[in-house]
A and B are shown apart, each in its own frame.
Chain A
Amino acid sequence: MDAILIQLLNGLDKGAAYALIALGLTLAFGTLGIVNFAHGALFMLGAFCAVSFQKILTISKKVKDESITFFDAYKEKPYLEIWWGDTGTAIIDYAVPLSILMAIPVMLLIGFIMERGLIRHFYKRSHAEQILVTFGLAIIIQEVIRHFFGANPIPTPAPDVVSGSAAVGVFFGLNENLVYPWWRLIYLAFSLAIISAVFAFLKFTTFGMVVRAGMADRETVGLLGINIQKRFTIVFAIAALVAGLAGVMYAPILPPDYHMGMDFLVLSFVVVVVGGMGSLPGAVAAGFLLGILQSFASMTEVSSLFPGIDQIIIYLVAVIILLVRPRGLMGREGVFED
């Protein structure tokens, strides 16, 4: 039972990241009809918002390290600590959650610029052209990040208070030694909150209602005198924001590097296809489902029977689902079935 709980939590945790990225992808595809291969880069840019914010907070002065006598060595002391003492240290410690404040305007702006500057010119072009141009954009973004931040992963730790583990075993009435990292639980809760907020926004606001109508029939909504294009630009910016926030909060789990977006992009496209192209609930459900399957596939009992299954399980399930249900788990009838 202990093993199942841990694998389940781990699966939900991974699934949360897949679901958040897939959600943004589906929003862009469902509203704009755009297959955005630069979406993984948006996830990576979010993570680098956390990195940048941390770097800004830790701008330092070099101080001589008196404990080294062999040669002149220096320690870096952040100005925030010099000026504000413990308060400065605490602010640096909370760099990742605080960087959300920076990530929100930055990601919305990036989404807006991307859509207005490039994506809108490709609405009426084929999916193949969209893929080519967005994939090219992703590579450009990657290389820009590589130029400024280097090729190596940059450690971006969670605040000290949540860097340890929670006694989940006690909570579930199981083995009291059963623990799970706090930050991963926070990431799961954060993802659920963001997913709920996006669904609530689409379901309960007039803006959301128009967007949903536009997703179903863009032409009719336009004939009603509604500027659907303007709303779709905002939707694209929101999709960028969702991917960015997923990246910010993922930084303490996986030290960001310029390539992390590509690693998630392929998996997220599989998630979108399994969930059903254009289906928001499908993307979320498939994200969690595939995350959990991947986690259980890595259990010793399973991997000893089928070595390497954890590396291919997601693609295996995708193949099976597409064979028996080409429109995906929750895709609309007739969409991508031919």
Chain B
Amino acid sequence: MRKPKHEIQGAGCAGACCLRVEHLGVDMGGADILRDVSFHLHCGQIVALIGPNGAGKSSLFKAVLGQIPHSGTIEFQKAGGKHTRPLIGYVPQSPAFDRGDPVSVFDFFSAAISSWPVFLPTPKSLRRRVLSCLERVHGADLIDKRMGALSGGELQRVLMAMALEPLPHILILDEPLSGVDIDGERQLLDMLDEICNQYDLSILLSTHDFATLEEYADQVILLKSTVLKVGAPGEVLSSDEFKSVFHLDLGKGAGT
């Protein structure tokens, strides 16, 4: 278990730096994808979103990112209670890159963070800036590789470095562990922990990998159209709601 970094944990936002989602609903083509979703996300916390396929995890991310219309409110407040629009870094679910595309990591990165056209010769300062961003995820050696030639773990690291520039208030990762091997997974989780500690931002990620939840997540949200259970990883994994959703039993102390 990780140490709590804020005195005010639990239900309320009070004066802490926090994202507050209240009664969020998403309706697509007449079907309720999400209804009455409420939770709080504190700065410095890693929150894992779990739920079966089609539970609305990606829709929830899209709603928070403002890409689809939703009901309810999404509010962000900085420490001290000042409300502001949150800056969100988004790491999409490992996108498929065409292996032949002549897009190098540098091209992709600089297209996103600067307005210098990527087809012109590169200024040294821009290259240094991209290098220092990649350094955050220990990926400086990837800069001249083509996007299509990256492994799943390397791609996730590059996308994460991109989401951290400019430094966001909230980092959202859509299934960062899918398509990543065991070593890559270990590396990614350590990195998330490092980023969370170093920059004091909140991390919201979705995952299907329950075995490692307890190592890194401060809070787990079990989602299936609505929030079924929120709490510490052990608590959620051993809950009745978890068992009935997944028909399996992983939590410590299960069966007692």
- Bound pair (A, B): no
Interface residues of A (CB under 8 A from B): none
Interface residues of B (CB under 8 A from A): none
